[in-house]
Amino acid sequence: MNNQVEILLVEDNPADAELTISALKDRKLANNLVHVWDGQAALDFLFGNGTHAGRDVKHQPKVVLLDLKLPKVDGISVLRQLRANEHTKELPVVVLTSSREDSDVIETYHLGVNSYIVKPVNFENFSQTVSNLGMYWLLLNEPPIVP
Amino acid sequence: MPLLRDLPIRRKLSLAMLGTTLVVLVAACGALLAYQYAASRKELARHLTAIADVLALNSTAALSFARPDDAKETLQAISAKPSIEVAGIHDETGALFATYSRDEGNTPFPATPEPDGVRFAPNHLVVVRPVTLDDKRLGTLYLRADLTEITARLRANAQIAGFVLLGSLALALVLSTVLQRAITRPISALTDTAKAIADTRDYAARAQKHGTDEIGTLTDTFNEMLAGIQERDSALSAENVARRHAEDEIRILNASLERRVEERTAELQTANKELEGFSYSVSHDLRAPLRAVDGFSRMVFDKYSVQLGEEGRRLLGMVRSETARMGRLIDDLLSFSRLGRQKMEVASMDMRALAQGVFNELAASEPERKVRFDLRPLPAASGTVAMIRQVWVNLLSNAVKFTKERETGEIEVGTQDGGKEGPIYYVKDNGAGFDMRYVDKLFGVFQRLHSAGEFPGTGVGLALVQRIVQRHGGRVWAEAEINRGATFFFTLSHPRA
């Protein structure tokens, strides 16, 4: 299924979103990328609710790139709900945020995040990090098998 | 038997008066008695002599005519005087002529005449008188009387004296008891007052003055003393009250001061926290758009390089380099603010190894620079390693940076004795130095003494150094000459502190 979503990008900042997508595109990793703008949209998509009602929730993305500072439902709440749900408990989630706060790191790992990446300030580093992320989770990592 | 001096005054006085009276009376009576006795004896002697003379006269006839019986008869007249024991006449030959004896034959009579005269023997009076007629001695008359008369009278007198004595003593006792009051009452009054005052500590009381004698003077003096004590006492208690007031005030002041200090400290801490929180969020929130600027400008540079042309590329390059600078500024600001939130962990640090390690890194990052690093022995210190490492990084990288105009940069790191402050670490370079007139600005945040064109930098590095050193209880300062290099000194808290 070529149309299967591979990356769900949850990012409210248009500039950051464009840079991320651009970096992934450079590596040809953005072909099956879905971008949502807030936490509620992310949950709707993953659970097949609201505007994404009817989506086949058996087919989950290979990785969710999750920003923490989101409108409506913030990143940590999204993570908590994902981990509480049978279908999304093992879904690979990578927090991609500008926050370096200890509390955020602690809380997200406590909730079971797979990885925590601080967005580099420098664009070059940012590019490199994103493409590394994409390579790792899309090409290297073996996704979980949902029964 | 209580000692005389411990008797109450009352008793002493009575005893004194009685004693004096007694002694005086005894002396007087004694003298009187003695005089009377002596007078009696003299009288008796005279009396008996007279009797003897009369008898002698009456006996002349008997002696002249040798008629002893007549003489005896004459002598019988003596019986009228019972005190005469014996009487007798000796004739001119010394023989016994006639005798009289009161107690028939009991008392001895001298056989031969004794010399003329009047003699007192222990219990008798002996009178011996010549019997003469017309200057011719006919014989000797001998009289002996006992002294019972005298002694009886003496006894009677003594008895009377005794009664008089007793009566007088009784009178003296009464009088003394009454009279001693005149002295003892004022004294007792004074004593009681003194005792009462001593017990109650009521120095306002005064003793009552009785009379103007020595006791009166004593009373006056005593009262003066009391007045003095009272004054001092009230002055003292007034002082006490005043002092206690002052102490209370001080305590209140202290308490309010402490409260104010606490309030200020709390205020300061809140302000500090807010500032740090602010710095942190500001630097963080500034980064995101910066990344965008950096990224998109880069994308324009990459994708539209040809269309930009040389000038376009140069201008865009300026945008990009300023963007990079802003990023560094934000990083420095962030680490500056983060410093306040970091916990300090005190550990022993090998300062020499730390400095060497930092320099090696700096040298590795700029391999084209020629820098001579003279690292002297450094005493160990205690503090938070990460923070002190940052101090070395900032100071050494500054030294490296500001010596870039020199053929060979020379950096010397060592230590000086700081006395009570502990060792003074220093970093000395032969670089551009700075104008000492602006030394006060050196450690201010974002303060720079050189333009960015001369030497890059954000002006936060030294502020960070100062912050860290101060948190370790030390201080940092610098000396320099323009174009002759600079030396930065810092101390940390004394290891023992």
CA B131/CA B79 separation, integer angstroms: 20
Look at the alpha carbons of B230, B232, B238, B241 in this order and tell me if their dihedral is positive or negative.
negative
**Has residue B486 got a pLDDT over 60?**
yes
**Has residue B12 got a pLDDT over 90?**
no
Q: Do A16 and B331 touch (CB under 8 A)?
A: no
Give pLDDT, residue B332.
Answer: 78
Residue B79 token pair: 């019986």
Give pLDDT, residue B8.
Answer: 83
* Cα Rg of chain B, angstroms: 70
Provide the percentage of residues in chain A whose pLDDT is more than 90.
70
Answer for the pair A36, A10: CB distance below 8 angstroms, yes or no. yes
Place of tokens 């409210």: A12
Q: What is the pLDDT of residues B288-340, one digit of tens each?
A: 788 889 889 989 998 999 999 999 999 999 998 888 888 888 877 777 777 76
Give the distance from residue A144's alpha carbon to the nearest chain B alpha carbon, in angstroms: 33
Confidence of residue B497 (pLDDT cuts 50, 70, 90): very low
Give pLDDT, residue B453.
Answer: 67
Q: How many CB atoms lie within 10 A of CB B325?
A: 14
Q: What is the pTM of this model?
A: 0.46
Instruction: Identify the burial level of B283 via C-beta atoms within 10 angstroms of its C-beta, where 0-12 means exposed, 13-18 middle and 19 or more buried.
Output: buried
Confidence of residue A41 (pLDDT cuts 50, 70, 90): very high
Contacts of A127 in chain B (CB under 8 A): 295
Which among B288, B296, B324 has the least Cβ separation from residue A98? B288
Q: How many CB atoms lie within 10 A of CB B174?
A: 10
Q: What is the pLDDT of residues B112-143, one digit of tens each?
A: 777 888 888 888 888 888 888 888 888 888 88
Place of tokens 């992320």: A133
Provide the percentage of residues in chain B whose pLDDT is more than 90.
22
- Which residues of A have a CB under 8 Å from any CB of B? 13, 15-16, 18-19, 22, 98-100, 119-124, 126-127
Place of tokens 């040798």: B66
Contacts of B288 in chain A (CB under 8 A): 13, 15-16, 98, 119
Give pLDDT, residue B270.
Answer: 87
Q: Do A119 and B291 touch (CB under 8 A)?
A: yes
* Weakest-pLDDT range from B61-75, B358-372, B397-411, B452-466: B452-466
> CA nearest B110: which of B96, B92, B127?
B96
Confidence of residue A30 (pLDDT cuts 50, 70, 90): very high
What are the backbone dihedrals phi and psi of residue A64, each rounded to the nearest 5 degrees, phi first? -110, 120
Which among B287, B298, B324 has the least Cβ separation from residue A98? B287
Mean pLDDT across the stretch B218-246? 90
Mean pLDDT across the stretch B237-256? 93
Q: What is the pLDDT of residues B55-85, one digit of tens each?
A: 888 888 888 888 888 888 888 888 888 888 8
Give pLDDT, residue B2.
Answer: 67
**Has residue B258 got a pLDDT over 90?**
yes
Edge-to-edge strand order for the sheet containing B476-481? Answer: B371-375, B409-416, B424-429, B485-490, B476-481
* Weakest-pLDDT range from B183-192, B386-395, B452-461: B452-461
Answer for the pair B138, B91: CB distance below 8 angstroms, yes or no. yes
Collapsed DSSP state (helix, strand, coil) of residue B350? coil
What are the backbone dihedrals phi and psi of residue B7, each rounded to the nearest 5 degrees, phi first? -70, 150
Contacts of A123 in chain B (CB under 8 A): 291, 294-295, 298
Give pLDDT, residue A64.
Answer: 96
What are the backbone dihedrals phi and psi of residue B159, each rounded to the nearest 5 degrees, phi first? -60, -50
Q: What is the pLDDT of residues A77-129, one digit of tens each?
A: 999 999 999 889 999 999 999 888 888 999 999 999 999 999 887 788 889 99
> CA nearest B485: which of B423, B431, B416, B419?
B431
Q: Do B291 and A19 touch (CB under 8 A)?
A: yes
Q: What is the DSSP string of B436-474?
A: GGGGGGTTSTT--SS-TTTS---S-HHHHHHHHHHHTT-
Contacts of A122 in chain B (CB under 8 A): 291, 294, 324, 327
CA A89/CA A83 separation, integer angstroms: 4
Q: Do B294 and A13 touch (CB under 8 A)?
A: no
Place of tokens 């009454």: B178
CA B370 to centroid of chain Cα atoms? 78
The phi-psi region of residue B390 (left if phi > 0; otherwise alpha if psi is between -120 and 50; otherwise beta) is alpha
CA B181/CA A26 separation, integer angstroms: 135
Contacts of B322 in chain A (CB under 8 A): none
Q: How far is CA B311 from CA B297, B300, B317, B318, B480, in A?
A: 15, 14, 10, 11, 41
Give pLDDT, residue A1.
Answer: 43
What are the backbone dihedrals phi and psi of residue B121, each rounded to the nearest 5 degrees, phi first? -100, 175
Q: How many CB pairs under 8 A join A and B?
A: 46
In B207-280, which ranges are E strands?
Answer: none
- The chain B residue lying nearest A97, using CA atoms, is B288
Contacts of A121 in chain B (CB under 8 A): 287, 290-291, 294, 327, 330-331
Q: Do B287 and A13 touch (CB under 8 A)?
A: no
CA B76/CA B102 separation, integer angstroms: 9
Confidence of residue B249 (pLDDT cuts 50, 70, 90): very high
CA B464/CA B458 separation, integer angstroms: 11
**Has residue B380 got a pLDDT over 70?**
yes
Give pLDDT, residue B493.
Answer: 80
Give the distance from residue A130's alpha carbon to the nearest chain B alpha carbon, in angstroms: 13
Mean pLDDT across the stretch B89-114? 76
Q: How many CB atoms lie within 10 A of CB B119?
A: 14
Q: What is the mean pLDDT of chain A?
A: 91
Mean pLDDT across the stretch B347-360? 91
CA B211/CA B188 separation, integer angstroms: 14
Edge-to-edge strand order for the sheet containing A115-118? Answer: A33-36, A7-10, A63-66, A93-97, A115-118
Confidence of residue B21 (pLDDT cuts 50, 70, 90): confident
In B342-481, which ranges are E strands?
Answer: 347-349, 371-375, 381-383, 409-416, 424-429, 476-481
